[in-house]
Amino acid sequence: MNTNVINWRHFDFWLFGAVLVLVIFGVTMIRSAVAGNIELTTETNLVNRQIIFAVVAFLFMFITAGIDYHYWASVNRVMYIITAGALAVLNIIAPAVFGSARWFQVLTINIQPSEIAKIVIILVLAEYFTEHSGEVGSIRRIFRSLLYTLGIMVWILLQPNLSTSIVILVLWFALLWASGLQIKHLLLFSGTGVVGAAILIPILIRLEVIKEYQIGRVTSFLFPDPNARYGDQYNIQQALISIGSGGWFGQGYGGGSQVQLRFLKVRWSDYIFSAMAEEFGFVGTVLVLAVLAFVIYRCLRAARLARDTFGALIAFGVATLLAFQAIVNIGVNLNMRPATGLTLPFVSYVGSSLVSAMLGIGLVESVLIRQKSLDF
């Protein structure tokens, strides 16, 4: 009997279908966002680039799904060292773009190692917490897991890329909780983290690890200037106008005035949610977010069905990653939190982010393929 055939019967086609819908919708929205744009020639190529990224990302997803997820436990240290090394080298040799050195440029493609680092840290921490599942409450084990996290996070923070650094830290905390850490320990770490942040942030500001523009984003969020005509505050104002002008059913595809007249900046990535709200309205936006929520639910379902702790933690980590990025991106568009560079999963234009998210889906599918029972 062919075991591989039996295993592939457990492939989650509902999860795959939902992701496919989101990616196709994302390409469609990017096309609308850059339609008639004559500002930069490269921007008019975003649709073609996103299609190429999507094809490559789906290919990686199927390859990852076909590989037994237990294999990654045997090579995660190598992946960790390579990722940390790439991030360290990036800080030394990569040119700063918009004040931040985040990409390696290969021909005409920008590769962002911090996106792959999200998946690597999920695998590393999942394997570590599985290996030491009986010692979750040990301060020594918790501290060591934090060191693993900081080994990746520090290099991302130095780019500087504060938002992705926070994502890495959230993944550590989420997997620590999912591995069975008691509530009293969670409260202790939360309190310690708040105190530590209060002490550390002024030091990081003085050392210029946290840059002036990042401080400005927080300041403009807390004390907005209603007369701002440029910068993050202006972008937020245009995003809110776009969302409000969409109403219940939107102005129609390609009909959003804020989008088509280019008042809304970075509308194909950071603010694609606002563009979506203007063109498809509240109803259309809720439908898209419902599909995204369904993807996250299927990842959590995979965590429940996983045959072992390692698989469960991987699926839970991917669900946390997608959920946190979506919440932050939407929060920025709604002016509920300071501006960041986090994109809307599967929808926004960023090739490395799309590939990273699809690798995560591939890992979840790998967990499901190798579970014992099949149910909906």
pLDDT in tens, 231-290: 667 778 888 888 888 889 888 888 887 888 777 888 888 889 999 999 999 999 999 999
> Does the residue 376 lie in any domain?
no
Q: Give 303-310 contacts, CB < 8 A, sequence gap 24+.
A: 303/178, 303/367, 305/367, 305/368, 305/371, 305/373, 305/375, 306/367, 306/371, 307/370, 307/371, 307/372, 308/130, 309/129, 309/130, 309/133, 309/179, 310/69, 310/70, 310/73, 310/126, 310/127, 310/130
**pTM of the predicted model, to two decimals?**
0.85
Q: What is the mean pLDDT of the chain?
A: 81
CA proximity to 359, closest of 79, 84, 132, 37? 79
> Does the residue 374 lie in any domain?
no
Distances (CA, A) of 129 to 40, 167, 331: 47, 18, 31
Counting the structural domains of the chain, the total is 1
Sign of the Cα torsion 179, 352, 302, 27 reads positive
Percent of the chain clearing pLDDT 90 (strictly above): 40
For residues 207 and 266, give the distance between their C-alpha atoms in angstroms, rounded to a whole number: 30
Buried/exposed 19-55: b ≥16 CB within 10 Å, e otherwise: bebbbebbbbbbbbbbeeeeeeeeeeebbeebeebbe
For residues 137 and 152, give the distance between their C-alpha atoms in angstroms, rounded to a whole number: 23
At residue 265, the pLDDT reads 80
At residue 209, the pLDDT reads 58
For residues 45 and 144, which has the higher predicted lDDT (pLDDT)? 144
At residue 217, the pLDDT reads 60
Residue 370 binned pLDDT confidence (cut-offs 50, 70, 90)? confident
Average pLDDT estimate for 112-137: 87
Average pLDDT estimate for 165-188: 82
At residue 64, the pLDDT reads 94
For residues 108 and 258, which has the higher predicted lDDT (pLDDT)? 258
Residue entry with tokens 């009997």 = 1
Q: What angle do CA 37, 253, 18 make, to 5 degrees?
A: 110
What three-state secondary structure class fits 100? strand
Q: What angle do CA 257, 258, 264 make, to 5 degrees?
A: 160
| Amino acid of residue 258 | Q
> Does the residue 246 lie in any domain?
yes
Average pLDDT estimate for 138-157: 86
Where would I find the H helices in the chain? 3-8, 13-34, 46-66, 71-93, 113-131, 139-157, 162-178, 183-206, 212-222, 231-246, 257-260, 272-305, 309-333, 351-369
CB-based contacts of 153, cutoff 8 Å, min separation 6:
165, 168, 169
Percent of the chain clearing pLDDT 70 (strictly above): 76
Residue 212 pLDDT > 90, yes or no? no
At residue 48, the pLDDT reads 86
Average pLDDT estimate for 47-58: 91
> Does the residue 163 lie in any domain?
yes
313, 180 in Cβ contact below 8 A?
no
Average pLDDT estimate for 331-353: 85
* Structure tokens, 120: 């690597």
At residue 82, the pLDDT reads 92
For residues 151 and 25, give the distance between their C-alpha atoms in angstroms, rounded to a whole number: 36
Residue 367 pLDDT > 90, yes or no? yes
21, 291 in Cβ contact below 8 A?
yes
Residue 5 pLDDT > 80, yes or no? no
> Does the residue 77 lie in any domain?
yes
Average pLDDT estimate for 12-38: 88
Instruction: Choose the weakest-confidence range: 22-31, 36-45, 208-217, 363-372.
Output: 36-45
> Does the residue 375 lie in any domain?
no
> Does the residue 106 lie in any domain?
yes
Give the burial class of 230: count Cβ atoms within 10 A of its Cβ; 0-12 exposed, 13-18 middle, 19 or more buried: exposed
For residues 178 and 114, give the distance between their C-alpha atoms in angstroms, rounded to a whole number: 23
For residues 15 and 124, give the distance between their C-alpha atoms in angstroms, rounded to a whole number: 24
Instruction: Choose the weakest-confidence range: 189-203, 209-223, 252-266, 354-368.
Output: 209-223
Residue 94 pLDDT > 80, yes or no? no
Other Cβ atoms within 10 Å of 126 Cβ, number: 29
Q: What is the pLDDT of residues 316-341, one digit of tens each?
A: 999 999 999 999 999 989 888 777 77
For residues 26 and 49, give the distance between their C-alpha atoms in angstroms, rounded to a whole number: 12
165, 120 in Cβ contact below 8 A?
no
At residue 3, the pLDDT reads 40
Range of the domain at 68: 3-369
At residue 143, the pLDDT reads 85
Instruction: Choose the weakest-confidence range: 37-46, 85-94, 145-154, 186-195.
Output: 37-46
> Does the residue 231 lie in any domain?
yes
